[in-house]
Chain A
Amino acid sequence: DADVTQTPRNRITKTGKRIMLECSQTKGHDRMYWYRQDPGLGLRLIYYSFDVKDINKGEISDGYSVSRQAQAKFSLSLESAIPNQTALYFCATSTPRGGDAGYTFGSGTRLTVV
């Protein structure tokens, strides 16, 4: 099994629908992150969490919310999806300051909002 698992892998949804992207990890890392990737814009940080009771906004958090259900689980929600949220979404984990192993990324969720 992958260290960081994202579900679903692909999703097509309609404008205005609520959608949740899920991430689970077996690395035992405390820190988890959600990034979004758009062509030409690179990867941008949406939200991050340093432990179960800690949630922090990234640079592009508007329109998104997150839930840290357990050390191993971190979910990203789009309350009312809009077409410009069409992107590739990545979950990542790390130890503090990247540690000895750096960041580990999931395989991504390709989300299309029509």
Chain B
Amino acid sequence: KQEVTQIPAALSVPEGENLVLNCSFTDSAIYNLQWFRQDPGKGLTSLLLIQSSQREQTSGRLNASLDKSSGRSTLYIAASQPGDSATYLCAVHNTDKLIFGTGTRLQVFP
């Protein structure tokens, strides 16, 4: 059974820091991996999708990498801003379903 773990569970940093959020999964037979952002009580916004044949994807200050063989993905946030405060969810596309980690709750203070 696929299990997805995110570390750390919570993170509080001053504005301007470069951040690394980690995601690990137990079964390397995945199709894609997707990172989402969720604001409190709100829906999920897709940030980056890494297909199984890719190693990384970039969008603005965000960069996500994928290493299927080791079962790991990393989301890198450059020059963090207070507006980045949210919960970040990692999800793996496993057979016909999307399986989520429990998220990293990020707070960036001015």
Contacts and interface: CB of A to CB of B under 8 A. Distances in A.
Interface of A: 31, 33, 40-43, 45, 48, 50, 58, 88, 90, 92, 94, 97-98, 100-108, 110
Given A42-B101, A42-B102, A42-B103, A98 B43 contact: no
Interface string B84-110: 000001010100111011110000000
30 contacts: A31-B96, A33-B97, A40-B102, A42-B89, A42-B101, A45-B97, A45-B98, A48-B96, A90-B43, A90-B44, A92-B98, A94-B98, A97-B31, A97-B32, A97-B93, A98-B32, A98-B34, A98-B49, A100-B49, A100-B51, A102-B34, A102-B93, A103-B34, A103-B46, A103-B93, A104-B46, A105-B43, A105-B46, A106-B43, A107-B42
A110 B98 contact: no
A99 to B, nearest CB: 8
A98 B44 contact: no
A98 B42 contact: no
A111 B86 CA distance: 22
B103 A105 contact: no
Interface of B: 31-32, 34, 36, 41-44, 46, 49, 51, 89, 91, 93, 96-98, 100-103
A31 B101 CA distance: 21
Nearest to A91: B43
A103 B98 contact: yes
Given A42-B89, A48-B97, 6 more contacts: A31-B96, A33-B97, A42-B101, A100-B51, A102-B34, A105-B43
Closest 4 CB pairs of A and B: A107-B43, A102-B49, A98-B93, A105-B44
Given A92-B98, A97-B93, A98-B32, A110 B46 contact: no
A107 B39 CA distance: 11
Contacts of A88: 41
